[in-house]
């Protein structure tokens, strides 16, 4: 069991580590022997001394080791002993995009960042943020940014590589892609750093191909094929009347096109262009083909069976379900947010695209006109199905700590799985799911990181 300690820098430089008696006893440490001291991925050797007096629950580390380890001064964190290794931390590195990182450096941390720090108030793991800049693979250090309680502000420091990486690097420019991929590759190449999520993204087609093998899940999957020719599109429209074309890695509904045919067989095409809904009538196959080429350019995309989504008035509804692992590694459902799309829009995307988020439990009784008992049963069914799908995803790709599941209900309240997101949006207003829930989402990540790193 990990114990909380204060880590103090000692002025001597002779590779020693002075531990208070309480901790030495708790972990039955042997004085005068050599131990490995580990903080993140940096390890040093130290001779152990035990101090009878002095502060309780403290570890004094000689200054030369202190700087080698890259520990911030006056850190209060956990200690754990495994064989001859004294582990401090654990160190959770949160990988963000440069803009997010810059905001933190300017002492204007985004809300999701503040939630993370609040969630850590009792867990005391060491959290730092880093971006696609400032790594030094020669010395295995990275320039990160952590919150110092002493100074009450965010501080930039050369830090060791973390025990666990939480990948939250959502690109905001295509320039970041090769750099971020580079960073991921290097962080993982040694095989020592754990990840909250085994993959940084899940594409829409191969995921479908893998999941359809599972009979218990197949019922949730809309029929999906990879685009090869325009004939595929027309055949799918013929069969389903409404289809969605989605690029493999598109996000926030910006690379989604909906095609729908009315009773008179006139084809309509909907998509978002810089957050504005565009609706075009398509005349003939040539027009359709041109439209598709212009929209997807050389990106790969899938054709997905359209679902007759549940409607509230003339607004369609879909759901974002967040599921996470708890401290024991068991999946739990954290929230379900229902998005009401723009009027008459076949595509329900984020708030910037005119949709409105509501707490599932609050809006559904109105939509379905059913008592809340019925709705909570539905909530549980959706959560359980999401977890079932997540378990299948894990079988295919390795463990995940959290997944944002896009689920939908059709007119007959049949449940569908649309896609899974490895970096679910954390900008949700706490007004919808409640402040406590927001903190809980972060707390689960922290506890899962502890679980992964053996604390």
Partner 1 sequence: MRDHFYAVIESMPARSSLKSNSVLVPCNIVSQMSRPAKAKIKFGLKEKAVNLIPDQNSKKVRLPKELAKDLNIFDGMDVCVKYKNDTLILGPLVGILINDSAFQRLCKGKAGNKRMRLMSAAHRSHIFAYFFTADNIIWSDRTVRGTFYKHDTDSWEVVQLPLPDILYDRGGGFSRAGSIKALELRKQLNNFKGLRKVNAQHYFSKWDLYCRLSKYEDIKKYLPDTMLYENVSTLKAMLNKHDMVYLKSCTGSNGREIIRVKKLYDSSYEYDYYKNSVIKIKTDSLRKIADAARKLMHGRKFIVQQGIESLSYNGNKVDLRALIQKSYEGEWLVTSLPVRIASGGCPVTSTKSGSSVYKFEEAFLDVLKFNYKQVEDIRKDIYELLSAVADAIQKEYGSFGEMGIDILIDNDLKLWFIESNSKPAKDTVLKSGTEEEIMKAYQRPFEYAKYLSGFYDSINMENKYE
Point out which residues bind partner 1 (CB under 8 A). 135-140, 175, 177-179, 182, 186, 189-190, 192
User: What would the DSSP string read from start to end of 154-207?
Assistant: EEEEEEEPPSEEEE----SSTTHHHHHHHHHHHHHHTS-SEESBS-S---HHHH
Q: Report the nearest approach of partner 1 to the CB of residue 138 (Å).
A: 4
Identify which of residues 22 and 140 has a Cβ nearer to partner 1 in the complex.
140
Shortest distance, position 184 Cβ to partner 1, whole Å = 12
Fill in the DSSP letter of residue 72.
P
Question: Of the two residues 154 and 183, which places its CB atom closer to partner 1 in the complex?
Answer: 183
Place of tokens 């952590």: 146
Residues 6+ apart with CB under 8 A from 32: 47, 48, 49
Angle in degrees, 0-180, between the axes of helices 98-105 and 111-119, rounded to the nearest 10:
70
With contact defined as beta carbons under 8 Å apart, do 232 and 238 qualify? no
The answer to whether 321 and 386 are in contact (CB under 8 A) is yes
Q: Which is nearer to partner 1, 139 or 283 (CB)?
A: 139
Closest to partner 1 by CB, 133 vs 435, is: 133
**Cβ closest to partner 1, residue 170 vs residue 393:** 170
Q: For the chain, how many helices (H) and strands (E)?
A: 13, 26
User: Which of 190, 286 has the CB closer to partner 1?
Assistant: 190
CB 40 within 8 Å of CB 87: no
Nearest to 401 by CA among 220, 214, 212, 194: 194
Q: How far is the CB of 190 from partner 1 (least distance, A)?
A: 3
Query: Which residue lies nearer to partner 1 by CB, 173 or 264?
Result: 173
Place of tokens 């024991």: 328
Three-point CA angle 429, 147, 75, nearest 5°: 135
Q: Minimum Å distance from CB 15 to partner 1?
A: 20
CA atoms within 13 A on the CB side of 409: 24
Q: How far apart are CB 44 and partner 1 at their closest, in Å?
A: 17
Nearer to partner 1, 3 or 189 (CB): 189
Nearest CB to partner 1, comparing residues 1 and 138:
138
Residue 93's region, left for phi above 0, alpha for psi from -120 to 50, else beta, is: beta
- Minimum CB separation of residue 268 from partner 1 in Å reads 36
Q: Which residue, 428, 390, 388, 382, is CA-closest to 408? A: 382
Segments in 314-371 forming alpha helices (H): 360-368
Q: How far is the CB of 200 from partner 1 (least distance, A)?
A: 16
Rounded to the nearest 10 degrees, how much is the dihedral formed by the CA atoms of 35, 36, 37, 39? -160
- Counting other chains too, the contacts that 270-274 makes at CB distance below 8 Å and 24 or more residues apart are 270/345, 270/346, 270/347, 271/295, 271/347, 272/347, 272/349, 272/353
Minimum CB distance to partner 1, residue 187 (Å): 9
Q: Which is nearer to partner 1, 38 or 316 (CB)?
A: 38
Cβ 249 to partner 1 shortest distance, Å: 15
Q: How far is the CB of 179 from partner 1 (least distance, A)?
A: 6
């Amino acid at each position: 069991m990990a114990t909380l300690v204060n880590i103090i820098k000692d002025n001597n430089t002779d590779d020693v580590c002075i531990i208070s008696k309480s901790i030495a006893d708790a972990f039955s440490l042997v004085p005068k022997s050599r131990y490995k001291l580990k903080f993140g991925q940096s390890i040093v050797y130290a001779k152990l001394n035990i101090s009878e007096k002095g502060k309780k629950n403290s570890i004094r580390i000689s200054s030369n080791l202190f700087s080698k380890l890259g520990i911030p001064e006056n850190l209060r964190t956990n200690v754990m002993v495994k064989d001859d290794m004294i582990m401090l931390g654990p160190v959770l590195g949160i990988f963000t995009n440069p803009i997010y990182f810059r905001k933190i450096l300017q002492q204007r941390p985004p809300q999701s960042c503040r939630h993370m720090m609040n969630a850590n108030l009792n867990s005391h793991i060491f959290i730092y943020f880093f971006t696609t800049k400032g790594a030094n693979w020669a010395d295995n250090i990275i320039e990160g940014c952590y919150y110092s309680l002493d100074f009450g502000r965010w501080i930039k420091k050369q830090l060791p590589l973390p025990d666990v990486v939480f990948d939250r690097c959502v690109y905001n420019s295509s320039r970041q892609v090769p750099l971020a991929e580079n960073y991921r590759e290097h962080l993982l190449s040694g095989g020592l750093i754990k990840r909250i999520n085994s993959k940084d993204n899940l594409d829409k087609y191969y995921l479908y191909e893998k999941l359809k093998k599972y009979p218990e899940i197949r019922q949730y999957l809309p029929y999906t094929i990879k685009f090869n020719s325009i004939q595929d599109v027309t055949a799918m429209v013929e069969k389903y009347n409404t289809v969605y074309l989605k690029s493999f890695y598109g996000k926030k509904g910006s690379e989604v096109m909906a095609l729908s045919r009315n009773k008179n067989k006139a084809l309509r095409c909907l998509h978002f262009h810089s957050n504005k809904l565009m609706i075009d009538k398509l005349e003939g196959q040539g027009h359709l083909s041109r439209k598709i080429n212009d929209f997807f350019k050389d990106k790969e995309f899938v054709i997905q069976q359209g679902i007759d989504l549940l409607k509230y008035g003339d607004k369609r509804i879909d759901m974002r379900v967040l599921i996470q692992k708890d401290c024991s590694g068991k999946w739990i459902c954290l929230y379900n947010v229902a998005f009401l799309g723009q009027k008459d829009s076949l595509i329900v995307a984020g708030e910037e695209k005119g949709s409105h988020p509501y707490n599932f439990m609050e809006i559904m009784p109105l939509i379905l006109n059913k008592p809340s008992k019925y709705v909570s049963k539905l909530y549980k069914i959706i959560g359980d199905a999401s977890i079932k799908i997540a378990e299948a995803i894990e079988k295919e790709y390795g463990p995940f700590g959290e997944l944002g599941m896009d689920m939908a209900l059709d007119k007959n309240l049949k449940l569908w799985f649309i896609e899974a997101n490895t970096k679910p949006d954390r900008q949700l207003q706490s007004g919808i799911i409640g402040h406590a829930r927001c903190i809980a989402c972060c707390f689960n990540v922290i506890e899962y990181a502890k679980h992964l790193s053996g604390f």
